[in-house]
Amino acid sequence: MMIELKQEILDLIESPKLHAYLMEDTERLKLRDYVSIIAGAPVGLKRKQGLLYKLRATSDTKQQDTDYLKLCCECIDQAVQYLTMESEKIFLIQLMGYDDDNKSDIVDGPYIMTSLEDMKKAVQEYYWNEPDSTWNTLYWRVELYLDGEHKIKKNEFLSPMYTYIMNKDGEIQYFIHEKVSSNYLKGPLGSMAEWLFHSVCPDLNLPVPYQTGDVLFIDCRPYAPDAFYCRLKEVGDDCCGIQCEYVNPEGEIETGALKHGDYFFNHREVYQYLSPLYKAKIVSKDELNWDDYIKGKQNVSKTT
């Protein structure tokens, strides 16, 4: 794989120290790691599609990994194809955000559109006409329903073929294949490939330069309700190897696996599409004293 392509892929990681660490030795990562970085990044589907095809064209590796990359390309090809095909379709659009308990919630909608171009124009106009909204925690969830020969029904009601996740500017970044019917998706590799494009699990499981005691600031908005601090208690290699602690609204300390998205108190109540590894930044002691931060949170919880 060309070093230029590896750098282009690693540039999708905004975390400064992790990016620098991986760039020091791009051979640390396997082909599947690069595929995972592309699939989970908060960028448009067209960019992901282009990077995956570049990766496929320059890869020379064992058969199973080649088959996996081929499946990932086919997954995103089909998601883009259904999104842009000329047949009759309906887009059901909901503005997503978070309620008072910081749980994922529908903020507005649903709205109905019948073309991709009109839908993008509509969401962009909505954005400009609502300047007072907290847009850093808002995104769009789009269900695609097909009519004619491609339509899917359940109990005579139309069912969505795909759900797409779109940012405030109308850029579609993730997709969920709701009705998997293609033969190439059968088997464990097909399931893994589909899952990769919309879930923080099975994780972006990369090697990291972090150490026990590091305090991280992680801002995955709009795919998390806020920006959060956590402190690393253990740093290992597997998907559960990075254990962190954080404080909940009651001032209690909780712990969880960072790579599984368990770095804030109600992570299970949130539709996480973005791995915290893309955004994590190390906070110096001059910026934040962890013990003082915890005490401050505990004092606030006692007064509310």
Domain spans in the chain, listed from the N-terminal domain onward: 3-84, 89-191, 215-303
Confidence (pLDDT) at 154: 61
Spatial CB neighbours of 301, under 8 Å, sequence gap ≥ 6:
249, 250, 251
| CA angle, 266 then 233 then 229, to 5° | 45
Spatial CB neighbours of 245, under 8 Å, sequence gap ≥ 6:
230, 231, 233, 253, 254, 255
Q: What is the CA radius of gyration of the chain?
A: 20
Task: Report pLDDT digits (tens) over 197-216.
Answer: 887 655 689 999 999 999 99
Closest CA to 111 of 76, 136, 65, 142: 142
Spatial CB neighbours of 252, under 8 Å, sequence gap ≥ 6:
none
- Between 214 and 130, the more confident residue is 214
Measured in Å, how far apart are the chain's first and last C-alpha atoms? Answer: 55
Confidence (pLDDT) at 1: 62
Confidence (pLDDT) at 183: 45
Question: pLDDT class for 276, splitting at 50, 70, 90?
Answer: very high
- Between 155 and 304, the more confident residue is 304
Distance CA 180, CA 200 (A): 20
Confidence (pLDDT) at 104: 96
Task: Report pLDDT digits (tens) over 131-156.
Answer: 777 899 999 999 999 876 555 656 56
Confidence (pLDDT) at 244: 97
Closest CA to 279 of 51, 42, 96: 42
Q: What is residue 102's three-state secondary structure?
A: coil
The torsion angles phi and psi of 113, rounded to 5 degrees, stand at -135, 160
Distance CA 164, CA 93 (A): 9
Q: How far is CA 64 from CA 34, 69, 145, 221, in A?
A: 15, 9, 34, 35
- Between 180 and 125, the more confident residue is 125
Beta bridge partners of 253: 247
Task: Report pLDDT digits (tens) over 17-70.
Answer: 999 999 999 888 989 899 999 999 999 999 999 999 999 998 776 666 788 888
Largest CA distance in the chain: 62
Check pLDDT > 70 for residue 267: yes
Query: What is the mean pLDDT of the segment spanning 115-127?
Result: 93
Say what percent of the chain tops pLDDT 70.
88
Task: Report pLDDT digits (tens) over 277-299.
Answer: 999 999 999 999 999 899 888 77
